[in-house]
Structure 1
Amino acid sequence: MKTYIKSYRKSIAAVALLSGLLFTSCENNEDLAITPETTVSDQDIFKTPARIEGLVNGIYKAFKGASLYGGRFLLYQDQRGEDFINITANNFTGYESWNNSYSSGSNDINNLWSAAYSAINRANILIEGLAVNQGVITEQKANEYIGEAKLIRALSYYSLVVSFGQPYNKDAGASQGVPLRLKAETGTANNDLARSTVAEIYTQILKDLDDAEAALPQSYTSADLNTTRAHVSTAIALKTRVYLSQNNWAKVIEEAAKLAPQTQAPFSTTASEVKHALQPDITVLFSSNYATVESIFSIPMSSLDSYTGQSAIAYIYNTNLEYYLNPTGILGDAQWGATDKRRDLTRTVSGKQYFKKYAKPSPFLDYIPVVRYSEVLLNYAEAAAKTGDLTLAANLLRAVHLRSDPSYVFSATVTSDPVQLIDAIWKERRIELLGEGFRGLDLLRNLQDLPAKGDSKLQTPAVVPSAANYIFPAPNTELATNKLY
């Protein structure tokens, strides 16, 4: 991982403080009046509260990397499924993911790996630094910052293990995953590190999320901060996702019930300070208000800190029109009706339907969703159905679907049969979470084939779970610098 370690070797402070100040709290980054410190020594970086806060912001900034949750990680995972058709065969905009043809030298592979481990290393630096520099900030504030660092570390590791490791459900996590780096690295001495098992990675992810839940604040001082900084609900919501990836239905239910304690609609959060609920109009979440209580955690963009061109997911989907929606995919399924409000998140160009959930023009200021309340409800629905509580599962499914299509009726045949109900929940995930990075993850956790897809110009065959390209290959940058991989 020499590519990211070197960025810290000369000055941790220079990188973290500068990028941290650029990320900052999203509501303020249009009119920053702070002159960033860019020449602080490693020894001085933890000596003031402002510098420590800069390090925290730097963790979020790394997590916001274009190849991670700045948007392209979502692109990579969605293109593994069948709901988009590629037009351009452009390797710089995710074609190799769509085509299941990544190699160790692929830019996407190396950039995703580097971005995730950069966020992890920044989190490790903060965690270790606060442990030996006590008293500069209050103990409560230090614990909250560590909670934020652990949550970002957990989600970064989750992104790595679901991409580069075999699905947990293949062998209960016995396969080799990725190197588990929990120490701050400021040089190249520790590049050589063997991979941990997939199970070990999941154990660490869940430990970090449990620690984060215990340490994070219930809320912040504004809706924007409640959307763009981790708080208690963020950790809980992400645990439902991680446990779902393990088919640990009981734990999904346990965590989801913290945020959705009711057994019928309207489902909403009552115990925590942020009262999560579905918004009446889903299009609001992707156009006029990125900071609703449905948006549990999102990556902000501003005119001072956004991505352009091929780094921007909005450019790929909606400006350059490099993928259209597959008419035989979820777009053509009867469960996604013509009057469904989510159809407004698509548009027609030359007879094809294109995806416009990220619809802002350049400079592409759409916030990127990491976890929404609707996902929590669908995670909950699947776990309830898997454990035999079909009434609760159907109520959760209806809550999500009827928000956008109130006239739709799920037949009694569907809601009374666990197989059909789970199939309907999986379809609902494809409709509701389209373009948010879930389709590939859902296929892999269920050990399903990556489906064949294409049109008269470009096609790609199906990939079975036993194939080498069912998961992403290790990047050249890691293979060249880690002899124990």
Structure 2
Amino acid sequence: MKIFHTNSYKLKIAALAVTALPFIGLISSCKKDFLVAAPELSLPDQDAFANPTRILGQINGLYVSAKSGAFLGGRYQVYNDIRAEEFVNRLSNNVTGYDVYGGTNNSANTYMSTFWSQGYLTINRVNLFLKGIEANSTVLTPALNANYIGEAKFVRALTYFSLIQIFAKPYILNNGTSRGMPLRLQPETSLANNALKSSTVAAVYAQILKDLDDAEAGLPDGQGSALANTTRAHKNTAIALKTRVYLTMGNYAKVIEEGNKLVPQAAPFVNTARTAHALQASVANVFAAPYTTSESIFSFPMADTNAPGTQNQLGYYYNANLEYFLNQTGAGIYADATWPASDTRKSALTGNIALSATNTVRRVIKFSATSPFIDFVPIIRYAEVLLNVAEAEALTPGGNLVRSRALLQAVRTRSDATFVFGTFATSTDLVNAILKERRIELLAEGFRYNDLARKAAPLPSFGVGSAVPVNDDRYTFPIPVSELNTNSEVNNF
């Protein structure tokens, strides 16, 4: 594990865990103070847990670390979507992922190295926090201790899940027996333990689920405001992520079990347990300020003081600089006949732009084209949870096909009241419709590669020009050379 920044080998990670975390104020406030407060850049290690304010600052810092534009604040979503068939590259710029798009990225890719190291830096910050709060458990109330531990474990689970998706073969390929990643659960303050074998994919998934179960148990029902309920983890956040994890594992019975904690058995599928969640009447409102609708189960907040960085931002990629525009050929979902122009997701969230007098293309406008591109980054939406449960019901022997179809219809009806799914002859036809609906609903939110990989399906790469099979080295990202140089055991498991 490369536990230091690329150019900071002499800095101890313990110091980084305190000094590099922006202390962004009271995130539980309904105001946006936490987005703009100046960071504390120096704090002795022994004082980091001295009082509740400093401990809260560290919790805020864990979210800030995960939402780095080089990690979950933009790059992760872009890399997962541009690898398949939905987008066409415009500028051939490796800085913004052209080699990923074309399947030529290798272990020397510095952006992949930064992505990997930011993930592990976040994990180690969580580990340091968990050790520190355990050693200072009397500073906070038991309930607040449990809350913060739950938030930290949610961040670690989300981070590991995001990394394992693209740096290891799919779980479903062989029930997770292939090489996963180094599973680091102890706080590190030196290079002493850098050499660590990778755990299997299954072992990493087991830890992700343990963290999410622990998080669900410790987290509160809600965080006190619409903003906090969107930007901090609560019980429903952990539950929702579990539906995604179990779906990726092909454990459909567990998807339904977890999903039933959030999703009613029948329409209108409005959750009232703990924190309320519902599809919004207008899908466009989900992507508009203040980004805190009840559909937004978890998002990373952004502001001009901590924007993701120009070449990481979703609005920059898809709307402003137009690094990638929609593929309007038969392979792309935009051209699919089952996505009509009457659908608001097509009419309001995509739009034409003229590149020249003779060349007009279609772009995604879910995210603003206005600098500094500080749209909140959606991580979990209620619409996804509905589709997770719908797919699981359709794939589970004895599953509720009526409920599955109704969930699918609910997601479609929200954006196109005139479209009615006909009768599905088989459960396979229903599943195919759900998978297609995911391509429409979650377009440009970082789901396309993962949805293919969790089926061990070939990657229909427009950039490569052919389908990439799951056993091809290009299917998953290579472990960065920075990790190979500092961890001689990483390829062993």
| SS of equivalent to 1:422 | helix
| SS of equivalent to 1:302 | coil
Please tell me the residue identity of whatever aligns with 1:280. Answer: A
Superposition TM-score, scaled by structure 1 size: 0.94
Q: Which residue of 1 aligns with 2:377?
A: 368
Please tell me the residue identity of whatever aligns with 2:284. Answer: T
Structure 2: distance between partners of 1:357 and 1:267: 24
Q: Which residue of 2 aligns with 1:269?
A: 271
1:150-184 deviation digits (Å, cap 9, x = unpaired):
00000100011111111000100000100000011
Do 1:105 and 1:476's aligned partners in 2 also have CA atoms closer than 8 Å? yes
Instruction: Establish whether residue 378 from structure 1 lines up as the match of residue 387 from structure 2.
Output: yes
Structure 2: distance between partners of 1:311 and 1:245: 26
Q: Which residue of 1 aligns with 2:357?
A: none
Structure 1: distance between partners of 2:336 and 2:34: 46
Do 1:22 and 1:305's aligned partners in 2 also have CA atoms closer than 8 Å? no
2:198 pairs, out of 167, 170, 195, with 195
Instruction: Establish whether residue 424 from structure 1 lines up as the match of residue 426 from structure 2.
Output: no
1:478 pairs, out of 472, 477, 483, with 483
Cα shift at 1:27 = 4.9
| SS of equivalent to 1:409 | coil
Q: Which residue of 1 aligns with 2:71?
A: 68
Q: Following superposition of structure 1 onto structure 2, how do residues 294-373 of structure 1 map, counting pairs within 5 Å?
A: 294-327=295-328, 328=330, 329-343=332-346, 344-350=348-354, 351-373=360-382
Please tell me the residue identity of whatever aligns with 1:417. Answer: T
Cα shift at 1:261 = 2.0
| SS of equivalent to 1:47 | coil
Q: Following superposition of structure 1 onto structure 2, how do residues 149-298 of structure 1 map, counting pairs within 5 Å?
A: 149-262=152-265, 264-272=266-274, 274-298=275-299
Superposition TM-score, scaled by structure 2 size: 0.93
Distance change >3 Å, CA 439–CA 449, structure 1 → 2:
same
Do 1:30 and 1:303's aligned partners in 2 also have CA atoms closer than 8 Å? no
2:466 pairs, out of 461, 465, 479, with 461
Structure 1: distance between partners of 2:177 and 2:36: 51
Do 2:69 and 2:312's aligned partners in 1 also have CA atoms closer than 8 Å? yes
Distance change >3 Å, CA 29–CA 289, structure 1 → 2:
closer
Q: Which residue of 2 aligns with 1:140?
A: 143
Instruction: Establish whether residue 19 from structure 1 lines up as the match of residue 22 from structure 2.
Output: yes
Do 1:384 and 1:392's aligned partners in 2 also have CA atoms closer than 8 Å? yes
Cα shift at 1:360 = 4.3
Distance change >3 Å, CA 31–CA 175, structure 1 → 2:
closer
Structure 2: distance between partners of 1:31 and 1:67: 21
Cα shift at 1:296 = 0.1
Structure 2: distance between partners of 1:194 and 1:452: 31
Cα shift at 1:35 = 6.4
Please tell me the residue identity of whatever aligns with 1:127. Answer: L
Do 1:23 and 1:61's aligned partners in 2 also have CA atoms closer than 8 Å? no
Q: How many residues align?
A: 476
Identity across matched positions, percent: 46
| SS of equivalent to 2:4 | helix
| SS of equivalent to 1:354 | strand
Q: Which moved more, 1:384-393 or 1:339-348?
A: 384-393
Structure 2: distance between partners of 1:228 and 1:62: 13
Q: What's the C-alpha RMSD, in Å, of the aligned pairs?
A: 1.8
| SS of equivalent to 1:370 | strand
Point out where structure 2 has 5 or more consecutive residues left out of the alignment: 355-359
Cα shift at 1:47 = 1.4
1:81-119 deviation digits (Å, cap 9, x = unpaired):
111111111111122221122200112311110111111
Structure 2: distance between partners of 1:107 and 1:150: 28
Q: Which residue of 1 aligns with 2:90?
A: 87
Do 1:237 and 1:376's aligned partners in 2 also have CA atoms closer than 8 Å? yes
Structure 1: distance between partners of 2:302 and 2:349: 20
Distance change >3 Å, CA 14–CA 275, structure 1 → 2:
closer
Please tell me the residue identity of whatever aligns with 1:377. Answer: L
Structure 1: distance between partners of 2:34 and 2:194: 40
Q: Following superposition of structure 1 onto structure 2, how do residues 1-150 of structure 1 map, counting pairs within 5 Å?
A: 1-4=2-5, 7-9=11-13, 11-12=15-16, 14-16=18-20, 18-21=21-24, 24=27, 27-30=30-33, 36-150=39-153
1:402-458 deviation digits (Å, cap 9, x = unpaired):
10001001111x2x421111110000000000011100001111111111425xxxx
| SS of equivalent to 2:22 | helix
| SS of equivalent to 2:264 | coil
